[in-house]
Structure 1
Amino acid sequence: MNGPAARHADSPYDIFLAGLGRRARAEEYEQWARDHDGDPEVPRALIHAGWERSQAGDHEQALALFRRALERGGEQARNARVGVVEQLYMLGRTDEGHAARDALRAELDAAVPADLWIYNEMVELLSEAADPQPEAALEWCEAALARADAENVGEDDADLRQSLLINRSVARGQLGLKPDELDRAVEAEADTDVLELLGRLPDGLSAPPAADRFSDEGPFDGLILRWTRADFPEVLGRWPQLTAEYGDDYETYAAALQRSAHRFSTGGAVRVRMVTGMLADFDAYVRHRGDAPDAPGTRTRYATWRDAEAADETLLWPPARNGPCWCESGRKYKKCCGDPARN
């Protein structure tokens, strides 16, 4: 896999990132690349710098950074190619974007084993470009799924295959095509997943009674309580049982919420709303209401109340792929919780 999931935890680059204790700036990524010119992680630093420049609207500089990373070759080359394609489209250089897109497709089709992560990344890029290309997105999906089936991909790529199936249904919908057998299978699996999820919702996630979940007259919203990064350590200290549900660090917690949001969305929720919870506010709420902080359902009731009282702090999920991630990481959604390799 060439996606961001592949990491070298003890590499100098990762030690540099961990030592910052905050989100790096584009110039810091670039400086690290200059200072470590012979390091194999230089392309990754250049790609990170490229996405930072792109997010700031400097697409020319971002394009230059992605091309520098591509010149280095190695395991990050295809990630760099995706960046090149996106920046060309963002700059309105459509013909060049198409040429870079087609060159990447030719490389992927010839690659063994199939790189489903890059196929899927390109499908999402084509579906959500400033000028969407659903026909091309569907072609990429079909090619990737054919490779996955022919090569009998293993467990590591099973989630990416499922993501491709979902994106295939989206592309077909954009083209106005009637659901086929694969679309219906995706929908049925989504319904099963969401029913399983709703049957074991932890306190803080809510939906309407089971009888209304999939009825024609009972549309529902998924509501998810998201504690802030700053409060998360104290949240686990107050409710240590949540460790079993959410893990013991914010990244694991965010991944669990992302999966819950995705299941709500594919299972029929009209909207998925992430309610930002803060412990000081929660404490004021329980004092005013007289609720027991640890009682079953208190956090769910707090989420419902907070959604109504502080609607401007409720986040609609998913955010724009190029917008900031909902988890407060400071990264783009598509390069953070929206990255298929993390889901």
Structure 2
Amino acid sequence: MTGPSAHGDKAAPYDTFLAGLGRRASAAEYEQWARDHDGDPDAPRALIDAGWERSQAGDHAQALTLFHRALERGGEQSRNARVGIIEQLYELGRTDEGHTARDALRAELDAATPPDLWIYNQMAELLSEAADAQPQAALEWCEAALARAGAEDCGEDAAVHRQRLLVTRSVVREQLGLEPDETDQAAEAEADKEVAEAARLLGEMLANAPLITGPPAEDGPVDAVVLRWTRADFPSARRRWPQTTAGYGDDYGTYAAGLQRTADRWSTSGAVRVHMVTGTLADYDAYVRHSGEDPGDPETRTRYASWRAREFGQETLFWPPARNGPCWCESGQKYKKCCGEPARN
């Protein structure tokens, strides 16, 4: 995950580019943007996003090149680039080089103040899921990060990163065949509290913002359909339906988190299949013109979602997505490192 723009609070050209696409960019588009904006502080971010796209497509050699190019530019994305380099080295079977790069990054992190808990956890996840998994090394990264989180000021996001590290720690301890200890049990109890709170928020969101519908066909198994507006259309959707979008939140991240919980809820509550349907306002307006339905009626949006699932099945995501595939929210990140993060859910 490349994180926030290097432009700070100002609207960054790179973020404007991503929002304007209305979809996830391709690796070639990320690379082209980086070439066209070589002096922009977000150029390394674009190269890293391109690298993850190439990696997800199995082109690890090209991904490695892109991560190296991002690293050469320096700046705040350097550690993210190094995580990408290490993963590609392991994927390419260059294990000794991967170990050397891993150890060099660990030495830098251990000496850095404040500790970069995000990168510690990124590496712990990588090591636990690498082609030649290293759960013992992953556990050591988790323990080192948690020790520092308990003794040092780690910033305003420390609690979120610490919870994610605890989840990763539990996973790798299970990989190692270790029985849950007190730390694992405390982490599970905290996760249960968060699930309960998420369920409460989900109930409020569903009461204010109906996002789901029934089966996309009259016959056959009962399916669930979750309608998602694109990043580009989200602000306009909120303005168009202020009453029903009150539960969406003020930004796309909050909106995506709500959709994630909705889809998870349906997936675990007995629905045979969960369809994530992506809609655009232009497509919705065309549907309304053809059908003659009332565009302001919530039931029209429900029928639109079912129609999209039925008529455009090739564009519909079946839930849950692949953990190593691109995230459905158009962030450009892997699902497991974005909306699929255990700590987020």
2:327 counterpart residue number:
325
Measured after TM superposition, the shift of residue 97 of structure 1 is 1.3
TM-aligned CA distance change 1:163 to 1:79, over 3 Å: same
Paired with 2:123 and 2:173, the residues of 1 have a C-alpha distance of 16
Indicate the percent of aligned positions where both proteins have the same amino acid.
66
Query: Which residue in the other structure is 1:72 paired with?
Result: 73
Q: Which residue of 2 aligns with 1:211?
A: none
Q: Contact 1:117–1:340 at 8 Å: present in 2 too? A: no
Q: Distance in 1 between matches of 2:176 and 2:125?
A: 15
What's 2:293 paired with? none
What RMSD over aligned residues (CA atoms) do the two structures have, in Å?
4.5
- Note if 1:258 corresponds to 2:257: no
Superposition pairs of residues 206-245 of structure 1, within 5 angstroms: 225-229=226-230, 236=238, 240-245=242-247
Q: Distance in 2 between matches of 1:157 and 1:180?
A: 22
User: Match of 1:28?
Assistant: 29
The C-alpha deviation readout for 1:270-317, integer Å capped at 9, x for no partner, is 99956548789xx9xxxxxxxxx769xxx99xx9xx99xx99967333
In structure 2, relative to structure 1, the CA distance for the partners of 1:108 and 1:269 (3 Å cut) is: farther
In 2, distance between residues paired with 1:35 and 1:260? 39
Query: In structure 1, what is the Cα distance between the partners aligned to 2:175 and 2:23?
Result: 39
Contact 2:24-2:331 at 8 Å conserved across structures: yes
Question: What TM-score, normalized by structure 1, do the two folds share?
Answer: 0.72
Give me the whole-angstrom Cα distance separating, in 2, the residues matched to 1:269 and 1:134: 32
Q: Give the residue type in structure 1 aligned to 2:86.
A: V
Cα gap change, 1:66 to 1:234, in 2 (>3 Å)? closer
Where does structure 1 lack aligned partners over 5 or more consecutive residues?
207-222, 284-292
**Cα gap change, 1:274 to 1:138, in 2 (>3 Å):** farther
Distance 2:199 2:33 in 1: 46
Residues 235, 190 of structure 1: alpha-carbon distance in 2 compared, 3 angstrom cutoff? same
**SS of the residue aligned with 2:157?**
helix
Q: Following superposition of structure 1 onto structure 2, how do residues 85-96 of structure 1 map, counting pairs within 5 Å?
A: 85-96=86-97
Question: CA separation in 2, counterparts of 1:168 and 1:274?
Answer: 32
Distance 1:77-1:205 versus aligned 2 partners, 3 A rule = same
**How big is the shift at 1:255?**
2.6
Higher mean displacement: 228-237 or 148-157: 228-237
**2:319 pairs with 1:316:** yes
Greater CA drift, 63-72 or 189-198: 189-198
Closer, same or farther: CA 269–91 of 1 in aligned 2, 3 Å: farther
Structure 2 unpaired stretches of 5+: 213-223, 289-296
Q: 1:327 is paired with a residue of what secondary structure?
A: coil
Shift of the alpha carbon at 1:108? 0.7
Query: Counterpart of 2:180 in structure 1: which amino acid?
Result: P
SS in 2 for 1:227: strand
Cα distance, 1:123 vs. partner?
Answer: 1.5
Matched, 1:198 2:167: no
* TM-score (norm. length: structure 2): 0.72
The Cα shift of 1:121 comes to: 1.1
